[in-house]
Structure 1
Amino acid sequence: MSLINKVVLVTGASSGIGAAIGLKFAEAGANVAIVGRKEDKLKKVSENIAKVGNKPLVIAADVTKDNDAQRIVNDTVKQFGKLHVLVNNAGIASNVDITSENAMKVYDNIMATNLRSVVYLTHLASKHLIETKGNIVNISSVFGQVPTNKDFAYCASKAGLNHFSRAIALDFAPKGVRVNTISPGPVKTDIIENLGFSSEKAAAIFNIWKQATPLKRISDPVEIAELALFLASDKAVGITGSTYLADNGFSLGGR
């Protein structure tokens, strides 16, 4: 699938799924802007992308800050002159339940990152996407459909993201812009270690998740990147308002 000369903006691109998406789109010929908070990690991702495609635009920013969100969109359009694809991937999780003293602080932080930032970036990018008749790919989670314990805020944010995506798909459709969502199940990233767990504990949790999937496997980030590439390409020209599960059967239950 070719995206030659297309301009793609990817948030949360300093590692994991976002980094894989940036790399995959660059391989397909796109000009990519990668966004993240950690400049050292972004530099590494940028170097990897430059080996397979055009050198990316690197934007160190916090998507929860309105000024940064404005800079993300403005810098991308300034650099490349247009925008064809917005991939909202930035997200955080928690290890807090509703009875915790800091429940609301965690909730506000997660909603700001996982949902509000997506809404605002979409608003800012909308006029550019309408001009190119582009599309949006939002990265959600299986936990937007199947709840998990000690992560009520994450589950709520991803459920909200799913429905937001369907709602704006209706708004954008008359303007020729498509909106779709990918809901991964367990994917081998650094998300668990980012919650403060040791690498050994993270490995144990991933093994539990692996055993909970009917296919008995954990996805690699590149699998999600390939699905994002398909949805952003002309091969998916008739697809909008859809949520694609890529969870190795996790949502089927049967555990």
Structure 2
Amino acid sequence: MDYDFSNKVVLVTGASVGIGESTALLFAKLGAKLSLVGRNEANLRAVAAECEKQKGVKPLAIFADLGTDEGIHKTAKETLEHFKRLDVLVNNAAIGARTSILHETDMKIFDDVFRIDVRGVYLLTKLLVPALIEAKGNIINISSISATVVAVGSLPYGMAKAALDHFTRLVSLELAPKGVRVNSVSPGITVSNFVKRITGSTDEQYKSWLGEVSKQIPLGEPCVGDDIARMVVHIASEHSRLVTGTVVEVDGALRFNTASSSHLVSQQIKH
């Protein structure tokens, strides 16, 4: 199955690491013109340089905090001024949090998670929808099986991702008559620095944990960034031209292993 994004403009948020980095690199290999957003300037420059190596197309690198209105407006403004259009918006930027039980949770954690994972997506999408309507483009939100798997320790994050999934459904209905598709990709346990960053785990601790995780996933292994990136590209392509309002899980069937999925999501956050 061939994918060609030549002359397509793709905006990827949270592109400096993990799933965002993998997604940016795959779109670059397929010829896309990229607008890449991140908070870590050194990492983002490195990712942009790797993307340029793929097809010789230099990405636009935007250093912005999507937890602020200023950063969101900057992202939308610079992308449209530079490329004059937008075909694909990948809302990937997010933060996670490990929390204790409800009555012991600091409200700042809740506010931080919702400001970036929900409000940031809402506002950035709002600002870019006119360009997406003009291009008959599409939106892909990166969610998580935490939206449906109930686990101790994931309260604000799980709520935020559930909100994101319903945002996908609602906006897909609004924009379908305008020719814009909206979908979510929902990863399961994914190998990245996301958990290590939250928990402060060492490389050896994380490697050991992933080994235990693999035994509980029905397909036998966790996802890597490329697994999610390939699904994002497929949904963004014309091969999925009538797919909208969906939440596509990429989790090795972990969500069906009810007891294990709850335990692993909890451990992913608390580990």
**Coarse TM-score class (shorter-chain normalised):** over 0.9
Q: 1:208 to 1:109 in 2, by over 3 A?
A: farther
2:72 to 40, 63, 69: 69
Which residue pairs with 1:170 in the alignment? Answer: 173
1:204 to 189, 203, 208: 208
State the TM-score, normalizing by the size of structure 1. Answer: 0.97
1:11 & 1:148 partners in 2: Cα distance? Answer: 27
Which residue pairs with 2:25 in the alignment? Answer: 23
1:61/1:72 contact within 8 Å kept = yes
- Equivalences for residues 51-70 of structure 1 within 5 A: 51-53=53-55, 54-70=57-73
The aligned amino acid for 2:95 is I
1:97/1:103 contact within 8 Å kept = no
For residue 86 of structure 1, give the secondary structure of its aligned residue in structure 2: strand
Which residue pairs with 2:88 in the alignment? Answer: 85
1:46 to 45, 48, 53: 48
Q: Which has the higher helix share?
A: 2
Which residue pairs with 2:224 in the alignment? Answer: 220
1:223 shift after superposition: 1.0
1:194 aligns to 2:197 (yes or no): yes
2:121 & 2:58 partners in 1: Cα distance? Answer: 25
Pairwise CA RMSD of aligned residues?
1.2
1:100 & 1:24 partners in 2: Cα distance? Answer: 43
For residue 186 of structure 2, give the secondary structure of its aligned residue in structure 1: strand
For residue 49 of structure 1, give the secondary structure of its aligned residue in structure 2: helix
Calculate percent identity across the aligned residue pairs.
37
2:144 & 2:212 partners in 1: Cα distance? Answer: 17
1:52 & 1:160 partners in 2: Cα distance? Answer: 35
1:207 shift after superposition: 2.8
The aligned amino acid for 1:163 is H
The farther-off stretch of 195-204 and 243-252 is 195-204
1:113 shift after superposition: 1.1
1:155 shift after superposition: 0.5
1:100 shift after superposition: 6.1
The farther-off stretch of 205-214 and 119-128 is 205-214
* 1:162-193 C-alpha deviation (Å, 9 max, x unpaired): 00100000000000000000000011110111
Which structure 1 residue ranges, 5 or more long, are not aligned? none
Q: State how many pairs are aligned.
A: 255
1:27 & 1:128 partners in 2: Cα distance? Answer: 24
Which residue pairs with 2:36 in the alignment? Answer: 34
1:197 shift after superposition: 1.8
